[in-house]
């Protein structure tokens, strides 16, 4: 039997993470809107890497700039400094934006296509100006055949009442768009005493997820940081799938000595969850996580002693009968590990814990506690919690 230890396992998970990242198709988002409406602010608060903060981006055309970061599967096509005054710039932008969308579709390559377009209108402007309506109508008419979803994002919506009024006004135009989403990307200080809280990015995320091509949905979940629930949901699906496979593996009760059969599935699961969260996790953190849960360095993960010591404290699973763990136990162990890891990464995603702190005593105690708590839940035969 292969004798895994935490360091080896962590290495395998790191490799898995790298290969999963490589497989992600780049998500391409185009963002249109007049200068100062908050396009850059929106981008920087929607995605986990501050892609539009540094540098000026690469000019793709006269009016369009492309922002991307190495090893981050996202490209933003931004239109900074745009004034919609009915001059040449508008004509240029229309032509260039439409050309870019057309070329992407024609290439037949999903990585080159534009997958979603945000048209930003600033709520405090109070008006949906005629020049903007004309621009948008032409743009929508000429891109209709390419079937790229267009969302209107109402930025800087610190007054919800104004946002609602403007939203009604936009709705009257019956534009061929997917949705109109009011947002406030960052908290806004109205005066010394009153601050309007950021809102709406989670909803924008949810809507965007539902309209982009399936081939880039996984990428979107990874790169967006505005909707942690979305990440959690996707990660839970990874856990459910892995637990189900573990249950099959254990359908014939697994002798302790063969419990490592579960390991490939658990490597895939931990790698998959890491990519969903899009958080840079170090190898040392993975070692800490594995050591605090299913095994310590040098011992066989899920080996006899580990399994029996884990199971001793869970009456529901009894002592592993006849020196073997059952299918349900295999599924439960796998699910508990996955769920504990998700709970930990949620804390990191919310900024309650730094990625580097996973290796600290606090991080290790947290994951141990989470794992134990998850193990104590009653579960069905596929490892899913009953309550």
Ligand X SMILES: Nc1nc2c(ncn2[C@@H]2O[C@H](COP(=O)(O)OP(=O)(O)OP(=O)(O)O)[C@@H](O)[C@H]2O)c(=O)[nH]1
Residue numbers of the site for Mg ion (CB under 5 A)? 39-40, 80
| Residue 11 beta carbon to ligand X: minimum distance, rounded to whole angstroms | 41
Q: Is 185 in the site for ligand X (CB under 6 A)?
A: yes
Place of tokens 């004034």: 83
CA neighbor of 303 nearest in space, from 290, 294, 311: 294
Q: Please work out the total of residues on this chain that contact ligand X, with binding judged by CB under 6 A.
A: 17
Q: Is 159 in the site for ligand X (CB under 6 A)?
A: no
Nearer to ligand X (CB atom), residue 80 or residue 323: 80
Q: Is the dihedral of CA 313, 314, 320, 326 positive or negative?
A: negative
Q: Count CA within 13 A, CB hemisphere, residue 204.
A: 29
Residue 248 CB partners (closer than 8 Å, separation 6+): 327
Report the site for ligand X in 187-226 (rule: CB under 6 A).
Answer: 188
Q: Is 253 in the site for ligand X (CB under 6 A)?
A: no
Token pair, residue 135, equals 């621009």
Place of tokens 């929607």: 46
| Residue 199 interaction partner, one of ligand X, Mg ion, none, beta carbon < 5-8 Å per kind | none
| Residue 41 interaction partner, one of ligand X, Mg ion, none, beta carbon < 5-8 Å per kind | ligand X
Q: Is 40 in the site for ligand X (CB under 6 A)?
A: yes
Q: Is 36 in the site for ligand X (CB under 6 A)?
A: yes
DSSP 188-228: EESSSS-EEPPBSHHHHHHHHHHHS-GGGHHHHHHHB-S-H
DSSP code at position 82: -
| Residue 37 interaction partner, one of ligand X, Mg ion, none, beta carbon < 5-8 Å per kind | ligand X
Q: Is 123 in the site for ligand X (CB under 6 A)?
A: no
Q: Is 39 in the site for ligand X (CB under 6 A)?
A: yes
Dist. CA 89–CA 381, nearest whole Å: 63
Range in contact with ligand X (rule: CB under 6 A) among 18-26, 35-43, 53-61, 172-180: 35-43
Which position among 28, 38, 219, 374 is part of the footprint of ligand X (CB under 6 A)?
A: 38
End-to-end Cα spacing for the chain: 36
Q: Is 35 in the site for ligand X (CB under 6 A)?
A: yes
Q: Are strands 116-122 and 27-33 parallel, antiparallel or unpaired?
A: parallel
Q: Is 37 in the site for ligand X (CB under 6 A)?
A: yes
Range in contact with ligand X (rule: CB under 6 A) among 124-132, 178-186, 261-269, 333-341: 178-186
Nearer to ligand X (CB atom), residue 71 or residue 192: 192
Which position among 143, 155, 217, 326 is part of the footprint of ligand X (CB under 6 A)?
A: 155
| Residue 36 interaction partner, one of Mg ion, ligand X, none, beta carbon < 5-8 Å per kind | ligand X
| Residue 89 beta carbon to Mg ion: minimum distance, rounded to whole angstroms | 15
Residue 82 CB partners (closer than 8 Å, separation 6+): 32, 33, 34, 35, 63, 89, 93
Range in contact with ligand X (rule: CB under 6 A) among 39-47, 58-66, 107-115, 251-259: 39-47
Q: Is 163 in the site for ligand X (CB under 6 A)?
A: no
Nearer to ligand X (CB atom), residue 21 or residue 188: 188
| 52 touches 78 (CB < 8 A) | yes
CA neighbor of 40 nearest in space, from 74, 73, 77, 71: 77
| Residue 188 interaction partner, one of ligand X, Mg ion, none, beta carbon < 5-8 Å per kind | ligand X
CA neighbor of 89 nearest in space, from 121, 64, 63: 63
Q: Is 63 in the site for ligand X (CB under 6 A)?
A: no
Nearer to ligand X (CB atom), residue 6 or residue 29: 29
CA neighbor of 340 nearest in space, from 275, 301, 292: 292
Dist. CA 92–CA 114, nearest whole Å: 18
Nearest residue relative to ligand X (C-beta): 38
Report the site for ligand X in 69-98 (rule: CB under 6 A).
Answer: 80-82
| Site residues, ligand X (CB under 6 A) | 33, 35-41, 80-82, 155-156, 184-186, 188
């Amino acid at each position: 039997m292969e004798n895994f230890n935490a360091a080896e396992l962590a290495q395998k998970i790191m490799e898995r993470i790298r290969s999963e990242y490589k497989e992600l198709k780049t998500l391409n988002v185009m963002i249109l809107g007049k200068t100062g409406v908050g396009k850059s602010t929106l981008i920087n608060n929607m995605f986990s890497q501050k892609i539009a903060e540094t540098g000026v981006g690469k000019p793709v055309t006269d009016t369009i700039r492309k922002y991307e970061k190495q090893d981050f599967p996202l490209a933003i096509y931004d239109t900074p400094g745009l004034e919609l005054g009915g001059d040449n710039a508008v004509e240029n932008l229309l032509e260039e934006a439409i050309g870019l969308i057309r070329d992407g579709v024609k290439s037949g390559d999903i990585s080159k296509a534009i997958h979603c377009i945000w048209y930003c209108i600033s709520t405090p402007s109070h008006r949906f100006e005629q020049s903007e309506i004309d621009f948008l109508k032409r743009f929508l008419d000429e891109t209709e055949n390419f079937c790229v979803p267009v969302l209107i994002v109402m930025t800087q919506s610190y007054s919800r009442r104004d946002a609602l009024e403007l939203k009604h006004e936009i709705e009257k135009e019956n534009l061929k768009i997917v949705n109109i989403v009011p947002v406030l990307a960052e908290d806004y200080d109205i005066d010394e005493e009153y601050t309007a809280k950021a809102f709406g990015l989670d909803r924008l995320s949810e809507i965007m997820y539902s309209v982009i091509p399936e081939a880039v949905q996984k990428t979107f979940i990874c790169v967006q940081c505005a909707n942690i629930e979305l990440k959690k949901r996707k990660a839970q699906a990874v856990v459910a799938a892995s637990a189900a496979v573990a249950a099959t593996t254990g359908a014939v009760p697994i002798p302790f000595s063969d419990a490592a059969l579960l390991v490939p599935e658990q490597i895939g699961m931990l790698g998959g969850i890491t990519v969903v969260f899009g958080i840079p996790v170090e190898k040392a953190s993975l070692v800490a996580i594995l050591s605090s849960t299913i095994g310590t360095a040098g011992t066989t993960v899920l080996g006899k002693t580990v399994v029996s010591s884990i199971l001793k404290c869970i009456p529901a699973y009894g002592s592993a009968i006849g020196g073997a763990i059952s299918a349900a136990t295999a599924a439960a162990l796998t699910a508990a590990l996955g769920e504990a890891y998700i709970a930990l990464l949620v804390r990191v995603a919310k900024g309650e814990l730094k990625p580097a702190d996973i290796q600290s005593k606090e991080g290790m105690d947290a994951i141990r506690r989470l794992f134990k708590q998850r193990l104590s839940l009653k579960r069905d035969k596929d490892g899913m919690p009953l309550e």
